[in-house]
Structure 1
Amino acid sequence: MSDPTDAELADRYRPRLLSEQAELAASSRATHDDRRPVELDQQSVGRLSRMDALQGQAMAKGLEARRMARGRAIAAALERITVGEFGWCEACGEFIGTRRLDVDPCATRCVACAR
């Protein structure tokens, strides 16, 4: 079986990457308030409640950092599609394989080089 063409790869993975990119942006907007600074209000928030709020804020910031990293990986994959380098291992130059790309279309290395 021959390797797919750049156009076939683009048709197969671009919509999925764009959809995931849009989902990440929507999730980021939806959780914006969770990442805002926790205000000190001695009247309505006790020490434990403030600690819970700070912990929630830290978790939201961590999740946003992971979203941003995934967003950068998606943008890089979309750029590789544009320039015709998508699906090819950055280390050895061999085709990554559709099974691996189906799992993660942002993959930049074949299974052998990823080990």
Structure 2
Amino acid sequence: MTHIEEADIPRLKQRLLERRAELLDNAAQREQSAATVELDQTRTGRLSRMDALQGQAMAKASQARAEQELRRIDAALQRIERGEYGDCPQCGEPIAPARLEADPAVVLCLDCATRRQNR
């Protein structure tokens, strides 16, 4: 299997840093959307309250996904700093460059990810 070129790592690192900054920039908006819904029965109809609660639940799910993505990005940046980026920690084989291009924060090679998913 081919290994990612050393020259590609700074470009992938920059993509990770840009995505991290984007997620952090949008964090305040996600937190506001996920805030507790005020249920004032005199001002809001039943359907509006249901919509507000559903919107809050969706915002909380979005916030959780963003936090998970931030953890993945931070872990990838740490692997870059340690010189371990591009190698699967489970089997030690290189992660396909196309896989890293698609998602620079990916941790496992395709074989190990498939095995983990099929458990």
TM-score between the two structures when normalised by the length of structure 2: 0.86
Task: Give the equivalent residue in structure 2 for 1:27.
Answer: 26
Q: Is the 8 A contact 2:73 2:105 kept in 1?
A: yes
Partner of 2:17: 18
SS of 2:26 mapped into structure 1:
helix
Paired with 1:17 and 1:112, the residues of 2 have a C-alpha distance of 23
AA of the residue aligned to 1:12: R
For structure 2, list consecutive stretches of 5 or more residues without a partner in the other structure.
115-119
Q: Runs of 5+ in structure 1 lacking a partner?
A: none
Structure 1 residue aligned with 2:80: 81
Q: Does 1:56 align with 2:55?
A: yes
Q: Deviations over 1:50-102 (max 9, x none)?
A: 11101100000001000100110000000000111110011111111211100
Distance in 2 (CA, whole Å) between partners of 1:11 and 1:43 is 57
Matched, 1:37 2:24: no
Equivalent runs, 1:67-78 vs 2, <5 Å: 67-78=66-77
With CA pairs under 8 Å and 6+ residues apart, which has the higher RCO, 1 or 2? Answer: 2
| Compared CA separation, residues 53 and 45, structure 1 to 2 (3 A) | same
AA at the equivalent of 2:64: A
Instruction: Give distance in 2, aligned partners of 1:67 and 1:58.
Output: 14
TM-score (norm 1): 0.89
1:91–1:109 contact (8 Å) kept in structure 2: yes
Q: How well do the aligned residues superpose, as a CA RMSD in angstroms?
A: 1.7
Q: CA deviation at 1:105?
A: 0.9
Report the Cα offset of residue 2 of structure 1.
Answer: 6.6
Instruction: Look up the SS of the partner of 1:88 in the other structure.
Output: coil
Which sits farther off after the overlay, 57-66 or 9-18?
A: 9-18
Q: 1:82/1:92 Cα in 2 relative to 1: closer, same or farther (>3 Å)?
A: same
% identical aligned pairs:
47
